[in-house]
Structures are given as structure tokens and as C-alpha cells.
Chains A and B, each alone.
Chain A
Amino acid sequence: MSKSNDSGRRDFLKKAVVASSVTVAPGVILHTLQAQAEPRTTPVTDKVRWGMLIDTSKCAEGCKDCVEACNKENGLDLVDKPEGASEELWERQRPHWIRQVKLKDNMTGMLTNLVMMCQHCEHPPCVDVCPTGASFKRVDGIVMVDRHICIGCRYCMMACPYKARSFIHADVAAKLTHTPRGKGCVESCNFCVHRLDNGQTTTACQDACKHQAIVFGDLKDPESPVSKALKKYPSVQIRADLKLNTGVRYTNI
């Protein structure tokens, strides 16, 4: 082999080393920085179970404050109708985390207003059926979806007794950092988990309700407002027959 060929190979090797360093180094540095960063929060603990009480007698007819606050807080108002989609069909396809429902008693005719959302069951059927474990329950009782491993099969939506989940039917142009969302995944109310993980103790819907129909807090803390209210007033779970031990309870249904 000639000398010039050898030096050519050496040059090549040198260049390759430089090139790969330039390519790999930022990743290594980033990785190191990330590893050294302080944890943003302390781990979630099962000493807390987040829950909610909704007083239907206070839930006012025609009021949409909680729904609008939820949409804003979780970026649902940023989900636009795709161009060319039919208005009527899109209304059925767009995501909803919380919705108002008005009931009429079949015998007495009594009307009741309430809001429905994920009931954050202790034994959530959506978690049972999820093939990948994307639908999961945190130790603090919050039921949510890991959007990294959701494959979009929608079996959780088939299993949820409360119709609480939404599938993202279209591309989402704008989204909030604390509530990422992508086409093809399922999502639902997560009790504003980004707030709770940053030390806040209220949800957007609760803050927005000027009628104080929503009380939120730690069900395991006997001194929390929600525990006190639950102790004071008779409350029910929706579909109590399924024995899911929901984290959301209702009074005056």
C-alpha cells in the first residue's frame, strides 16, 4: 500500500473523530446537564388522594364558567376545527374534559344540573383495559394518560362508564407546555395535574365556579374542605353499582 494512501486514511479518521465529537457532544452535555438538574417536584405520594365534591343544587343552569376555564387551562380552546370538516361532525369529535349535563327525574320531573368529567376511580376500568399501560392511575388517585405510550386504540373510551375521555381527531397547531397533546392519542381530565405538581391545591374548574358548586382537595386529609363537606352532606357516586370508588362525588342528585 502506498504512503499517500495511508495518510489519506489518517486524515479521514481524524475528520471522522472531529465530526462525531461535534455531533455527539451536545447530546452528552445536555444529558449531563439534565442529570444534574434538581428534581422539579418531590415524588407523588399516596398519603394524598385528590378528590372532588360537586353540589348539584349550586350548579347553575346555563353557566359555563367551569367548562370555559377548563378549556383555557388545558388548551382545549386551542384545538381548531380542521379546514373542510363538517361543523356538526366536528362537534362530536372535538375533545371535552368537562361537560354540563341536565337531568330530569322520570317520576317527579325534578331537574338537576351537574358537571361530568373523569371520575378518577380507585379501580378505573380504563386502566384495566389499556393494553400498553398508557392509561394509568397515580398513587395520589389521579387517573391520566401517558401520551408517550398511548397507541390510540380507544379501548379505554369503550370501557369508561362516564364517557369522560376524548380522542384527538386532528392535528393540534397550538398547545400549552404543561398540557401537550397530539393527534391520535386519548386524554381526559387530570385534575389540573400540572397545578398540583407545582404546589397549587385547586383546579381551574373549581376556581372558576362562582357558585361554589365544586369543592376540591385531599380526601385523605380529614381537615380538607372536601373531606369536611363529604362528612357533612350525603353524597353519591355515579354508577356506584360498579364499585369503582370514584374520586368525584355528587350531592343533591
Chain B
Amino acid sequence: MKKVHFSEWGIESPKYWGILAILGVFVAIAGAAVFYMEHEGHWVTGMTNQIVWGMPHVFAIFLIVAASGALNVASIGSVFEKKLYKPLGRLSGLLAITLLMGGLAVLVLDLGKPDRLLVAMTHYNFKSIFAWNIFLYTGFMVIVAVYLWFMMDRRMTAYYKPAGVTAFVWRIILTTGTGSIFGFLVARQGYDAAIYAPMFVIMSFAYGLAIYILVLLFVSKLDGREVGDKVLYRMKNLLGVFAASVFYFTLVLHIATLYATENHEYEAFILLNGGIYTFLFWFGWIFLGCLLPMALVYHPTIGRTRGGIIAAAVSVILGGFATVYVIVIGGQAFPMAMFPGKTIVASGFFDGVNGQPFLYSPTLAETALGIGGVALVLLLTFIAIRVLQFLPTSLADEAVDPHHAKS
């Protein structure tokens, strides 16, 4: 194994600025959307007093979950001492920070009072997992930044591993906190399950790695860096394991929920007759998010092609969005069971009359905000890799594989 060198992203200026400009347009559109929503109020969104969290939350939660997962690649190198992963650590830490920034930006800009962010920073109710998350998220950025510094600064090598362990433990707590946002909601049948916390952790592994693979292949392709099969196959196999784990957790969640009779109607809503939510569950969450990527990465021929691996990563991401949509929106669309044994036949304010789910159709503005969050992630990432040495000059097999000489 040769010594690993790092360098800035060296694509030609016009291409670089062109990419930034395209992403900048999406960010600007999102900015305009925020201005519009905050100026007019949330009536211009599809969100209502029944579906209180909408498209921005789907994007924000996906990005925040993916952020902690993106750090995994670095953790495997530093915490679990896998040499092959060490050169991948810098980009992993960077993506963890930028994904979190993008997700938080979307979340904060959707608040009814985003101008009161300072209030959220000065008034805390520590029984709220949201209040804890404020510390978990900001702490995560600081810890990963320090971790990156120790990773990149030769003088700090001695502290590199403790920083890596701290970041790893922190990220597990962070995603547990994000999953607990739903796990702790006792009122709604779709939530109120402790399994949401570990399931979010495993979801983060899958989404974070899928995004990492795609970003790595994209930036390497553009400035001609080699990404060897050894590194890529290792990551795609891991992606398959993560997709399978999400599948397992999904099975346990639904089987456990189905066991209780009180939940049969909710389960029927998600699994059988919930319209868009049923479709997104089976086609998005299960097929795109779990089964297809597993089939692709473990296929003896397709799994060894770049196209197959890219398709698997894209599939995990699309499936991930569907998963978060089903959890966030589907969980709210199913009417709350306030009167067991009775049917609400009339209501002065939308109580799910005759068991009808609540309607939600996202508007352009709120969707643009979410997409802007994704663009912001990429924008920040591309700027960072352009100015600092995040990318290994080569990830070719002979450069990264400790056993290459022997084989």
C-alpha cells in the first residue's frame, strides 16, 4: 500500500463555476420560496392543522439522518481500523457536516417563526427531544469538524482515534434522538414505538453510504481520479447489508405493530388501502429502498459494474425519501384513534370522518425549499473539496489496498 496523498478538486474553472451556478440557482429558488412562505404564511403550503409537518420535514429528516450515516465511512476507518477506508474519511466527515447543514437549514426555514431561532437557542425544555436535538446537532458539527482537523493535521494524529470514537458515539446518539422524535409521540398510532430509534440509525447507515458513493464517484469522475474496484466493491457490499438491515427493521416494526388488534386499521392503511402511502411503502420503502439495491449489488455481473452500483445507490436514496414520506406524512394522515369502538360520522374540524385519512398535497414552494436543501449540501461540499484537500489523489486498488501486492 502506497502512502495516500490528498489534493483539492481539480476540475477546470468553467466546469466548477458552472456546477456551482446550477446549484446556486436551486438554492436561490429555495430562498425565494422561503421568503414567499414566511411572508404569506403557511397557507401557501399544503400543510394544514391535520398534516402539520409536510414536504420540508421529509427532506430535512432525510438529510439529517443521512448526515450521521455519511460519517460511517470515516468511522469504519478510524474506529474499526479498516485501512482500506482511511483515505475515504475526509470526504465522509465533510459530507456529514454539509448534509446536516442542509437538513437543518430546511427544518429551520420551515418554522412558523424562523426569526425566533435565537429563542430556540436561549429557552430550553429538556424534557423535549427537540431541545436535546439542538445540542446533538450543533455538537455533532463541532465534533466532526474537530475530527476532520485531527484527521488532516499530522500534528494531531495522536488524538485522531479518540476524536473518531467520540464522533461515532455522538452520531449514534444523534440518530437515536432523531428517531425518537417519532418514537416518543404517544398520541399517534403510526409512531409511539421504541424501534423507531434503532431503525433510524440503520436507515442512516444506508442513506449516508449511498450518498457517499454517488458523491465520490461523481467528483472523482469529473477530475479523473481513479476509484478502484476494491474500494467500491467493499462499499457496495456494505450498502447491500444496510439495505437488508432496513428491510429487517421494517419487518419487525410491522409484525410487532400488527400483533396488537388496536393497530390493525393503521397497518391496513399503510400496507393495503392507504393509496399513495401504500404505494410508497411497497414500491418506495420496500422495493426501491431494500429489495432492488440488494438484488443489484449482489448480482454476480450487474453488481460488478459501475452502472449497477450507481443504480443501487440511487435506488436506496429514492427509497429513503419514500420511507421518510410514509413515516412523516403517512403517520399523520391516518386519523388519531380518539374513540375506540366508535366511528366519527361528522366533525366540525376534520377528525377523519368515517375513518377517512387526512389529505395532503405539497405545493411547489415547500418542495422547492426541500430541493434547495439538497442543492445546498452539494454546493457546500463542492466548495469545500475545491479549497481544501479532502479527496485522495487516487483510490486505485494498488494505492489503497494493503494486500494488493500479495494478490
Give which listed residue, B38, B48, B117, B184, contacts A92 with CB less than 8 A: B48
**Bound Cα distance from A170 to B42, whole angstroms:** 6
Given contacts A107-B341, A111-B345, A155-B128, contact A129 B184 (CB under 8 A): yes
- Mask of B297-339 contacts with A, CB within 8 angstroms, 1/0: 0000000000000000000000000000000000010001011
**Bound Cα distance from A49 to B131, whole angstroms:** 29
- The answer to whether A170 and B41 have CB atoms under 8 Å apart is yes
Residues on the B chain within 8 Å of A183, using CB: 41, 112
Q: Is A189 an interface residue (CB 8 A)?
A: no
Stretch at the interface among A38-46, A130-138, A192-200, A217-225: A130-138
Give which listed residue, B129, B134, B343, contacts A129 with CB less than 8 A: B129
Interface size class of B (residues with CB under 8 A): 35 or more
**Bound Cα distance from A165 to B346, whole angstroms:** 19
- The answer to whether A100 and B125 have CB atoms under 8 Å apart is no
Closest Cβ–Cβ distance, residue B292 to chain A (whole Å): 31
- The answer to whether A132 and B112 have CB atoms under 8 Å apart is no
- The answer to whether A93 and B49 have CB atoms under 8 Å apart is yes
- The answer to whether B342 and A131 have CB atoms under 8 Å apart is no
Residues on the B chain within 8 Å of A154, using CB: 52-53, 112
Q: Is A54 an interface residue (CB 8 A)?
A: no
Residues on the A chain within 8 Å of B124, using CB: 131-133
**At the interface, is chain B mostly helix, strand, loop or mixed?**
loop
- The answer to whether B345 and A186 have CB atoms under 8 Å apart is no
| Most-contacted residue by chain A among B38, B46, B347 (CB, 10 A) | B347
- The answer to whether A104 and B348 have CB atoms under 8 Å apart is no
Question: Of residues 184 to 211 in B, which have CB atoms within 8 Å of A's CB atoms?
Answer: 184-188
**Bound Cα distance from A163 to B51, whole angstroms:** 11
**At the interface, is chain A mostly helix, strand, loop or mixed?**
loop
Q: Is A128 an interface residue (CB 8 A)?
A: yes
- The answer to whether B119 and A132 have CB atoms under 8 Å apart is yes
- The answer to whether B346 and A102 have CB atoms under 8 Å apart is yes
- The answer to whether B343 and A167 have CB atoms under 8 Å apart is no
- Mask of B237-256 contacts with A, CB within 8 angstroms, 1/0: 00000000000000000000
- Mask of A79-105 contacts with B, CB within 8 angstroms, 1/0: 000100100011111111001111111
- The answer to whether B112 and A184 have CB atoms under 8 Å apart is yes
Closest Cβ–Cβ distance, residue B48 to chain A (whole Å): 4
Closest Cβ–Cβ distance, residue A47 to chain B (whole Å): 25
Q: Is A57 an interface residue (CB 8 A)?
A: no
- The answer to whether A128 and B128 have CB atoms under 8 Å apart is yes
- 7 pairs, CB–CB < 8 Å, chain A vs chain B: A82-B41, A93-B49, A99-B347, A131-B120, A132-B123, A150-B112, A184-B111
Chain A contact residues, CB within 8 Å of chain B:
64, 67, 82, 85, 89-96, 99-107, 111-112, 116, 125, 127-134, 149-155, 157-163, 165-171, 183-186, 238-239, 242, 253
